[in-house]
Structure formats: C-alpha cells, structure tokens
Amino acid sequence: MGDAAAPPAAVAAAARAARPTSPSRPPKAIRSTKPRGLDEETAAPAAATFPSIKAPSAAAASLLHADVPMEARVWAPLPDDLLLEVLARVPPFLLFRLRPVSRRWDSILHDPAFLAAHAGVPSHGPCLLTFWRGAASSPPQCSVLSLPLRARYKLPFGFLPAWDLWLVGSSGGLVCFSGFDGAGFRTVVCNPLTQTWRVLPDMHYNQQRQLVLAVDKKRRSFKVIAASDVYGDKTLPTEVYDSKENKWSVHQMMPAANLCSSKMAFCDSRLYLETLSPLGLMMYRVDAGNWEHIPAKFPRSLLDGYLVAGARTRLFLVGRIGLYSTLQSMRIWELDHGRTVWVEISRMPPKYFRALLRLSAERFECFGQDNLICFTSWNQGKGLLYDVDKKAWSWIAGCASQLCNSQICFYEPRFDTLIY
C-alpha cells in the first residue's frame, strides 16, 4: 500500500509556504490577503460579444485569474533583468494588483528597466474607460472594461483632488479631466496605473474650453489643445500646452465666420472640427500652428455627425441619415484626403440601429480608436462596436452605464507614460 495522503490543510499550507511574495527573494511566511486598489468585477460575456478576438481555451481561462502556487526553487534564482522582461508582458491590470503585496513589487513598477521593457511590448489591446461621479461628498468612480481579457476592473481615482471634474479624453495611457476647483477652471492630467497626476498651469484665456489630449510617445511628452471658441462676446484663440515646456502657447485664431460644434477628432498631429456656420470642416495643424478649411461637403440629410479619429491619417464621419424615423439609418464615411470628399464605407445593420436607438429622438455617443468605433446610448447597458478593418459589428455588454452623468472613452493602459 502507498503512503497515506496528506491532509488537505497541510497541502494548502505547504503550497502557501512555497510561494514567494517578492521577486528574487527566498520564501517567507505570509498572510493571505486580498489585493487592494484594483477590484475585479464580473467578466464580460464570451466570444459572441467581440468576435474579432479569439476566445481563450477552457484551460487558459481557468488559469487567467487562478491562484497558482509558485515554486521558490524555480523563481527565487531568476535574474532581475529576465524577471522584468517577464513582468513587462503581464497584462497591466493584473500586474497592478501586485502593488500591495510588498514594497519590492511596488518598486518594480517604477523601475526604469521595467518601464523600458514595458515600452517595447505591444499594446494590451482596446479598453473602454467609464467615469462617473456619485454623491457630492463621494470620490469619482472609474471602471475599465478590457476587451482582450473580457473583464471589468475598478480603477481607484481617490488620488485626484475633490473638484468638480469631467472626462476630457485619453491618449497613450494618460487621462485628462477638466473642471472647477471652486475658484477657477482647471485641467488635470493623470496616469491611473501609476496613480500620478498634475494640474496644468492656467491658460492665457482661462475659461471652460473644448480640450483634446495627445500623447507623443517618441518625444515622451504630451500636448493639450484648447480649440478656438466663443465665450460671451469674445472669440478665444487656440492654445496649446506642451508638457516639455510646461506652459501654454497662444496660436492662430480660427476665422470668426465659423462657429465650432463640440464634435472634433485628433489624428496625425491634426485637429479636425465640424463647423456649424457654415457647415463644413476645419483642420488645425499643431506643428504649424494654423487653421485650414477643408472643402469636403457633408452628406445630405445628415441629422447628427461625429468625427472619429482612426489609425494614422484615417478620419471617419459617423451620423444618422433621414428625415423620418422609419427612413433613418446610421452610416460611416471616410475622408478621402486626395479628392477631399467623404466616401461611404459602411452602414449599420437595421437590427443594430433599432436596438441602439429605440426612438428617433434619442441621443447616441460615438468615439473611436485604431479603426474601432464604439456607439453608446443613454438607455443602454451595453455598447455597439464596429471594426472598420474587419467590417464586423458586435455588442459589448457592460461598457456603458445607464447613469446620465457617466462618460466613456477608449483607454490604453500603460505604466511607461509619464506625466512629467
């Protein structure tokens, strides 16, 4: 007869004792605690909601969040440089959970060698960030839906000042907010993963403005662009903030004959804005600091249009067409830069259009990143995603909140993007 099996409690205790709590360190007795700071919520439904991403196998799915024991004799002698290369390839949201484990783990996320390795790793993939405010005394809430992992995570935003902030947008791992601190208009830029933030200096014309955040990975810097606007009886000029210089610079004022709408997009170092008077398109070259008129006529019977930035130089126009609810449809056009015309590239299937907008007067929001376009409506608890390259439509459960004060944008989680 074989030896008697060890009691389950003894096996579990041996596994916990064999698991190192910090890299390149011998194992020591630890207490089982729940990591704080990043809480995992319910996972999104499986492959049907995002067909362009291959669903993981059952074995891989079971190991994704499993508490797998690590053998000290294998991991303890692992060289630090190899360890950093391994950690750089761990999904950022899972790596963020290691911060409270020990000071050693927390310091690794700020190690220059780790940040350099992380910068050379391909992007985690598309994520959707939802930001909303609760009661007046409660801190803002934020959650991120990772499409590759099909899981939602809560990001702590208690590190931000308790101001009346609203979401401007995200770029290259940074998130921009604007609002009032009780005395004036403020702009805040932060990295949610590193929990670092900074308040930008006041603009020359410090009023509530339309802002766009753009990260330049080559220069390791970012810019915030305040588009020309009308405030009262004043026409405010364009201002650009450069993180390298830590100041705002005043640029050319857009022609006064054009009244800007709130729908704009930034791609290829150019800011595009729809204009209402007259209806058209204006382009602002950030490197040259001047405005140009794009004589691209908008489609007829366009009820509402959104400019959406695609990959590289691609610019899309998304909007409804039709005068009556029974004749309406959602269409997507792409700007042909050579001929300066809008070319229709896709139409939303009727079943998706009816589900997204139950009534013709209901509003919808539209935003994009890397040739992905996401549609949300205030009465939906899910979003509709369109992959321009694969021409595929799919529902994404849980990416939209039914709260009227929630805001959503695409987000790229990165540790290596600095705010200074």
- What does the DSSP assignment read for 240-280? EEETTTTEEEE-PPPPTT-EEEEEEEEETTEEEEEEEETEE
Amino acid of residue 210: Q
How far CA 372 is from CA of 321, 322, 332, in Å, comes to 21, 24, 12
pLDDT confidence of residue 6:
47
Residue with tokens 């992992």: 149
16 three-class SS: helix
| Per-residue model confidence (pLDDT) at position 190 | 96
Q: Give the pLDDT score at 168.
A: 93
Q: Are 41 and 151 in contact (CB under 8 A)?
A: yes
Q: Give DSSP secondary structure letters for 54-116.
A: PPPPHHHHHHHS------HHHHTT--HHHHHHHHTTS-HHHHHTTTTT-HHHHHHTT-HHHHH
Split the chain (420 residues) into runs of 10 and give each run's mean pLDDT.
46 41 39 39 40 45 56 78 88 83 82 91 90 73 89 87 90 94 91 93 86 92 86 79 94 68 84 79 88 86 88 92 75 94 95 78 82 84 90 81 72 91
pLDDT of residue 299: 87
What pLDDT does residue 164 have? 86
Q: How far is CA 355 from CA 252, 276, 349, in A?
A: 44, 29, 10
> What does the angle CA 243 – CA 248 – CA 251 come to, to the nearest 5 degrees?
120
| Structural contact between residues 35 and 97, judged by C-beta atoms closer than 8 angstroms | yes
Q: All domains of the chain, ordered by start, with CATH?
A: 86-121 (no CATH), 125-409 (2.120.10.80)
Tokens standing for residue 128 = 């959707």
The residues, any chain, with a CB within 8 Å of residue 119's CB and separated by 6 or more, are: 217, 416
Among 221, 204, 228, 223, residue whose Cα is nearest residue 213:
223
pLDDT score for 110: 85
